[in-house]
Chains A and B, each alone.
Chain A
């Protein structure tokens, strides 16, 4: 799988959170939030990561950035193994990998001006000292996200939701990263504002040659922005392939059900689509089922699916599926 046009390679990444009990806080079980995830992203491309809430998308993004210390697995970023770096080395590397959050309300410090929110990473990473050059750089980044430099003096509450998300994006861009994890960056925004921000993220990606891991639960948005899409279920990847292939020829029964659940905003087209209704809820990541994680809800499941975990394998043309029935 290794190749130098891969900016990031994730191999068998696991992130377990302990479930503790009693006064001694004894570890009694694990939340297997991310349970053996592997993928790569090519430079300048966007990998969409989709799946229902609680399936481990955010945890996966954070474990890749080493904001959580992974339980096991490897993350290679620009040829470096991140899981083995010292704290100091990690700090330096972090400049190149940034995170954009979902919630433009909670993620910005209400006591800081927009300018300082955007400029803080520049100071933290010693890229510039406070002064005119700092101001110039902050203004330049604000312009990149279509905010006016005069807005630098204002506080977060003076901005709309869409503008706050632009501030979050500007903060991530300030240190000139090569890779950005976008964690549901448009989910909290209204339809018309969503489109504004999607277009902005795509323009920036092309202009600055950025690579994105784009996490979202809205499959239409993910299809639009991503080159490749990975479908996650209960801590594992079920299918990865190009965005077009995934939507035109979904192979995993879970991918098929997920896509069919998305109503198309055109009644004539929507009426002609096959609908697969999933029954029940997603099982707990503390006690994932034996065999394939999806088997209890899968209409295709046979004995082997209940006994043996399927492997994510390439069925040709960089289309990866984890299913015994394919």
Chain B
């Protein structure tokens, strides 16, 4: 089984489809996703809201609510093992021990009526089989590691007594309990200020180099990607439109959506009179996707073929993939 996979990769996602069946019809939140993450790598997943980023992450964790959601097909190979084939109890073990996840709103995952110590210790006793006393000591150690000031004292506080940034640090501590091989961070800094964002991302980056944890960071912020990711996947309406090493993506984007996004964001370092290019229109309804390319309705380069066929993700350079019939001619 493991022989068929590249063991440089912690995770390989192959042709993943996750749909929701709602009043509106079949919502193709994730519509054929293929990518991998290497050991110790930080991979960014960028895209605008509702393009399927969280659903793709929750699919890895097998946390898609059923009904209305279901993973229709695909493979999710975590260190060679297909997570879509393991039992629920095995999956629980993997979630607690080998894959950690942090969310945008830390309060949705912290228990408001338990002290931080209780929450960390419970997890340590369960997953690492520590006794009460050792668990408390380890909790404090973890909180120090994530930069919580006054850890010995504050470990007995409740979640609401912390600021949003500190709650997110506590979440990171919880996710690190078992020294996971993969940490999924779903918009971890979207609801905090830039100064706190910088603190948290710096922390994640240090932990990655210290422990070799691979990080899948989901964000819509192109600056965050530029600063912290080794490689980037750009997602649009349930699919990847472009994938490249970070420097390559920003210097030689090949997909019209990526090009449009990069040209549309105001930048601190560029002259104020720089003209921003506007991507007109809206992303398509995921229950009524067009026959052709999902981006064709907003694309200024679309040709007849784009309306008829979905362009596959194809190699356009070293480790660089783009899903556009015109990538070769445009991205020069």
A residues contacting B by CB (< 8 A) are 52-53, 160, 162, 190-193, 195-196, 198-199, 217, 219-221, 223-225, 243-244, 247, 257-270, 275, 277-281
**Residues A258 and B194 in contact, CB atoms below 8 Å apart:** yes
Decide yes or no: A190 and B220 within 8 Å by CB, A267-B226, A278-B199 being known contacts.
Answer: yes
Check if B268 sits within 8 Å of A264, measured CB to CB. yes
- Given A162-B282, A262-B194, do A195 and B269 touch, yes or no (CB 8 Å)? no
The chain A residue with its CB closest to the CB of B192 is A53
B265 contacts which of A191, A217, A258 (Cβ < 8 Å)? Answer: A191
Closest to A265 in B: B222
**Residues B193 and A53 in contact, CB atoms below 8 Å apart:** yes
Sample of 7 more A-B contacts, CB < 8 Å, known A220-B268, A263-B227, A265-B267: A52-B193, A191-B222, A191-B264, A261-B198, A263-B228, A265-B226, A281-B163
Q: How far is the CB of B220 from chain A (nearest CB, A)?
A: 6
Contact in complex: B276, A220 (CB < 8 Å): no
A-B contact pairs, 5 of them (CB 8 A): A192-B261, A220-B266, A223-B268, A262-B268, A264-B267
Also in contact, A160 and B227, with CB within 8 A (given A198-B266, A275-B198, A281-B165): no
Chain A: CB-nearest residue to B271: A244
> Measured between C-beta atoms, what is the minimum distance from A32 to chain B in Å?
18
Q: Which residue of A lies closest to B262 (CB)?
A: A265
Looking at chain B, what size class is its interface with the partner chain? Answer: 35 or more
Tell whether, in the assembled complex, residue A224 and residue B194 are in contact, meaning their CB atoms are under 8 Å apart: no
In whole angstroms, how far apart are the Cα atoms of A198 and B277 in the complex? 11
- Contact across chains for A264 and B282 when beta carbons are under 8 A apart: no
**A263 CA to B197 CA, complexed, in Å:** 10
Q: State whether the Cβ of B312 lies closer than 8 Å to any Cβ in chain A.
A: no
Q: Are B198 and A219 in contact, CB atoms less than 8 angstroms apart? A: no
Cβ B195 vs Cβ A52 within 8 A: yes
In the bound complex, CA of A196 to CA of B198 (Å): 27
A119 CA to B104 CA, complexed, in Å: 38
Considering the chains assembled together, what is the distance between the CA atoms of A265 and B249 in angstroms?
11
Which chain A residue has the least Cβ–Cβ distance from B275?
A: A199
Known: A190-B48, A267-B247. A258 touches B223 (CB 8 A): no
